Structure 1
Amino acid sequence: MASSPRRTVVCSVLPLLLLLAGAARAAGNFYQDVDITWGDGRGKIVGGGDVLTLSLDRASGSGFQSKNQYLYGRFDMQMKLVPGDSAGTVATFYVHADGIISLSLLPLLLDAGQGDLMHARRFYVDGTPIREHRNREAATGVAYPRSQAMRVYASVWDAEEWATQGGRVRTDWSRAPFVASYKGFAASGCASQDAAACARSNGAWMYQELDATALDRLQWVQKNYMIYNYCTDTSRFKDGAPPECATK
């Protein structure tokens, strides 16, 4: 079976910056940093805590979450996606605040000098920005997570009903279990709900903005590589796209 390339994801919630790339940051230990929360044994920590694998079969997928909660931060992860014919499977890495919002493969940025959060969340893959979601709460009323502590999550699950050309391409379950692996998790963030205290953090990522070159790369990636956009999936969201889709 063909090997799947390992990508590095960075998530920073600026502060959350989610990077999917080979980041040269000090990696943690999965035994110390995360809890496997579901999957009935399908999630495994191996290599002395250096690698975590998640698997999916017909019965269930699996997932884990960070032990700490973060108001903002940068989160790096190397992901090896399910190799071979993996149609209908989804491997994720995201941040989520209970009852608020899920930000899949997404980062946020912080202006520590101002002592408040900047108004953007960004995804990076191998150092290249692939998505930016800016805060338009004042103009549109779409809620933006400015003070809700979030955990980092990852999961592997079955989405064959909608993810593959609207469900026309079915999962080949004879290839199960489908396994994705995670390595090099590094969290550099504010594990606190005190925004004032968090603003005193001094990570370089807190000042990061997308310059003209980065914006050009983001648009190029979306034009040439984006094959699915939930904001335009009318079959999945029959009552209208999620509200954040109206923001630019």
Structure 2
Amino acid sequence: MALYPSLRSLIASLCFCFLAFSLSAFGRPATFLQDFQVTWSDSHIRQIDGGRAIQLILDQNSGCGFASKHKYLFGRVSMKIKLIPGDSAGTVTAFYMNSDTDAVRDELDFEFLGNRTGQPYTVQTNIYAQGKGNREQRVNLWFDPAADFHTYTILWNHHHIVFYVDDVPIRVYKNNEARGVPYPKLQPMGVFSTLWEADDWATRGGLEKINWSKAPFFSYYKDFDIEGCAVPGPANCASSATNWWEGTAYQALNALEYRRYRWVRINHMIYDYCTDKSRYPVAPPECLAGF
């Protein structure tokens, strides 16, 4: 049956509105140059597929790095990364947010520590809040992150910071300011990534050195997604309760996320600063605050 013109127009309008809502609600994959710029060794970063993916290169001459063009105050950042295959001992691929300030730095870190062939890849997370860091946790990944792309995400709102690997939370840092625990909430942070040599500490505490005969080393990135309050921007954005990342569903882990989080901590966590008595005879206050 033929549709009346007015009905056709209504359906077309609804479809357009639904598409616009979808794009605004779920964000968009960006090309590299839309949101990022090279900060270190331009010759060691190559754009692929029209800038929708990039290759980072580490050799004996240099590593490399890139950063977002803007800083953000709260939101969610995610990237798909494929790490260095084979013997990657002594290398570090990092994806992090940083306020780029000195004395009172805020920083949220993913650091992927290279390995000898056959050993699990370790991801180290760390949090700097109002100048204080040294909050390392390490998890052995339960898959081969060099065989394919996996999604790594940082969610940051007024309630907590969550590090995700393929939608599995591996680290939660709650806002415990009421207990005197510093929480990053005042300084906007940029999004950074680097590939570099760190064989003085990266693999088994520096016992495994980088094998330059395996160079060059490559890591790959795609599906860059930043959703947050850009600075400079509307002054009221960061405090707005209407931002989706501040919504009820994102203020705490849901039941499924919590089960996954507990599974990671029980089966794959290999280091937690909270339980390192040699460094902290008395556990830091955020460790005593509980989940």
Whether 2:146 is the aligned partner of 1:103: answer no
Q: Distance in 2 between matches of 1:163 and 1:67?
A: 29
- Aligned partners of 1:31 and 1:45 also within 8 Å: no
Partner of 1:128: 168
Q: Which moved more, 1:201-210 or 1:163-172?
A: 201-210
Q: Which moved more, 1:47-56 or 1:226-235?
A: 226-235
Q: Pick closer, same or farther for the CA change 1:151–1:88 going to 2, 3 Å.
A: same
Which aligned pairs between 1:115-194 and structure 2 lie closer than 5 A?
A: 117-118=158-159, 120-140=160-180, 142-192=181-231
The one-letter amino acid paired with 1:70 is Y
Alpha-carbon deviation of 1:222? 2.5
Unaligned runs of 5+ in 2: 1-25, 111-152
Unaligned runs of 5+ in 1: 1-23, 111-116
Alpha-carbon deviation of 1:108? 3.8
Q: Distance in 2 between matches of 1:233 and 1:53?
A: 37
- Aligned partners of 1:190 and 1:201 also within 8 Å: no
2:236 equivalent among 188, 196, 200:
196
- Structure number with larger C-alpha Rg: 2
Q: Distance in 2 between matches of 1:230 and 1:159?
A: 20
Partner of 1:12: none
- 3-state secondary structure, aligned to 1:68: strand
- Aligned partners of 2:40 and 2:66 also within 8 Å: yes
Q: Distance in 1 between matches of 2:65 and 2:201?
A: 20
Q: Pick closer, same or farther for the CA change 1:203–1:42 going to 2, 3 Å.
A: same
Partner of 2:29: 27
Partner of 1:7: none
Q: CA RMSD in A?
A: 3.0
Alpha-carbon deviation of 1:72? 1.1
- Aligned partners of 1:71 and 1:195 also within 8 Å: no
- 3-state secondary structure, aligned to 2:231: coil
Partner of 1:225: 268
Q: Pick closer, same or farther for the CA change 1:38–1:245 going to 2, 3 Å.
A: farther
- Aligned partners of 1:134 and 1:247 also within 8 Å: no
Q: Pick closer, same or farther for the CA change 1:233–1:174 going to 2, 3 Å.
A: farther
Q: Which moved more, 1:96-105 or 1:148-157?
A: 96-105
Q: Distance in 2 between matches of 1:125 and 1:82?
A: 17
- Aligned partners of 1:87 and 1:164 also within 8 Å: yes
Q: TM-score by structure 2 length?
A: 0.65
Alpha-carbon deviation of 1:67? 0.5
Q: Distance in 2 between matches of 1:87 and 1:188?
A: 33
Q: Distance in 2 between matches of 1:178 and 1:40?
A: 16
**Structure number with higher relative contact order (C-alpha < 8 Å, ≥ 6 residues apart):** 1
> What is the aligned-residue identity percentage?
43
Q: Distance in 2 between matches of 1:159 and 1:212?
A: 38
Q: Which moved more, 1:175-184 or 1:57-66?
A: 57-66
Alpha-carbon deviation of 1:33? 1.1
**1:180-237 superposed Cα distances (whole Å, 9 cap, x missing partner):** 11100011111036663333374533321202332221121123223455667799x7
Q: Distance in 2 between matches of 1:243 and 1:36?
A: 38
Q: Distance in 2 between matches of 1:87 and 1:103?
A: 23
- Aligned partners of 1:97 and 1:149 also within 8 Å: yes
Structure with the larger helix share:
2
**1:136-185 superposed Cα distances (whole Å, 9 cap, x missing partner):** 33423x43211211101111112221121111122211111111111000
The one-letter amino acid paired with 2:176 is R
Q: Pick closer, same or farther for the CA change 1:88–1:245 going to 2, 3 Å.
A: farther
